[in-house]
Structure 1
């Protein structure tokens, strides 16, 4: 069963969520940011539900600091009494998967949490490292390496966004990936991304790919990763389901 870490100071909230999500997820409660930080060091979780106003600090700052510190952080959903648009935009811009005001109907809260858990089940890597032709993909560290032979291994130095773009396009190599699919996969449906920003990520990724891998821009339709390296094997259809290691916020 999937595990959720709820960082929330109001004791009635974990009681309600445990009842609401019974049978689909285990809800583990931390009443302070300090307690939550300790739990994350000791245990693994599939999702974090994070309040904004806590006795020992601000949830926004906690999330931002955790991301900047590096390492693997589970996807984060803000679950808070702050329902102002400004707070919601700020939370999403920090990289949260969703922002759920507590004033919403409990059935909607349940549906949105379960939707994220379903996505997380599909993205959980079966193994930490995958080899794709001359590329080596490390799902845990979100790194990609060019390995033309057994004695050479060069990092591609990808950002988190570029890594996820590469994983999606590799699964659909030589096939069209629409801009809409790419944005939904990398940034999520609740995150607005300007077209120029997408083009910039694609351009940067294109420059980092080794010889034999190229990204074609299909006008008004999307992008296509063309793999013309002799002997490069096709990927299995479930590769992309194993490749979304990074939660939350992308750079």
Structure 2
């Protein structure tokens, strides 16, 4: 039986949640609504939320400030609803730690597809005995536990969002190989993606900051990105 994912919608449009919740039930989503950021923070603190759908235009504070505050304490997947699909909104949201963006007005089916993708990225893979030996990627100064979705950088744990973790794993599975920006976007989305190369640059920048001072990712101008670390044999 498929598992049910619990979504939190933070949007001051009180007419949006009821029909959206009814539609999303067919995809095994339940949806709760918070009309203000303060109500959203209270619901998040109570636990049990698998992903947040966050509007940019809100009372009390805008969605960017909400996303920033969420990221201070949580790696819960965040999908931002951006005003008119403006690229500047998308760039700011991704820079603050959002996992994806969707312009308003949106099709509910598109929202469901995006949510399924970011939740798949955030879900730990089931551990198997056969895969145990391959569940650990080790490099000089970096260790990636695929089963537990845990990362150690120079011996210290690093909190990554689902999108950041998937990007790191993509690069780590083929160290030194150059991945083009469109290739990265299509991998993370799981289908053909709109080619906003700035989104990839911001995602890489976020990941680099979290892995500092380790210089883990190198940039090849007009080409893409690659993991710059040397693999280490498993103990």
Is contact 1:206-1:215 (8 Å) kept? no
Structure 1 position 13, deviation (Å): 0.7
Distance in 1 between the 2:84 and 2:230 partners? 46
Is contact 2:79-2:115 (8 Å) kept? no
Give the TM-score of the pair, scaled to structure 2.
0.64
CA gap of 1:17–1:225, structure 2 versus 1, over 3 A, is: same
Give the TM-score of the pair, scaled to structure 1.
0.60
Structure 1 position 50, deviation (Å): 1.4
Distance in 1 between the 2:110 and 2:78 partners? 16
Structure 1 position 17, deviation (Å): 0.5
2:67 is paired with a residue whose SS is helix
Structure 1 position 61, deviation (Å): 1.7
Summarize deviations over 1:170-217 as a string: whole Å, max 9, x none.
22357x3522333555798564339988998999979827xxx99797
Verify: 1:9 aligned to 2:9, yes or no: no
Q: Which has the higher contact order (CA 8 A, sep 6+)?
A: 1
Partner of 1:110: 109
Structure 1 position 227, deviation (Å): 4.9
Structure 1 position 45, deviation (Å): 2.6
Is contact 1:47-1:117 (8 Å) kept? no
Distance in 1 between the 2:199 and 2:20 partners? 35
2:214 pairs with 198, 208, 229, which one? Answer: 208
Task: For structure 2, list consecutive stretches of 5 or more residues without a partner in the other structure.
Answer: 128-134
1:22 pairs with 16, 25, 33, which one? Answer: 25
Number of positions where the alignment pairs a residue of Structure 1 with one of Structure 2:
213
Is contact 2:77-2:119 (8 Å) kept? no
Is contact 1:215-1:224 (8 Å) kept? yes
Distance in 2 between the 1:13 and 1:101 partners? 12
Verify: 1:35 aligned to 2:34, yes or no: no
Is contact 1:169-1:225 (8 Å) kept? no
2:22 is paired with a residue whose SS is helix
Task: Spell out the pairing of 1:84-103 with structure 2 (5 A cutoff).
Answer: 85=86, 86-96=88-98, 97-102=100-105
CA gap of 1:15–1:132, structure 2 versus 1, over 3 A, is: same
Partner of 1:179: 180
Partner of 1:132: 137
CA gap of 1:76–1:59, structure 2 versus 1, over 3 A, is: same
RMSD (CA atoms): 4.6
Distance in 2 between the 1:208 and 1:156 partners? 13
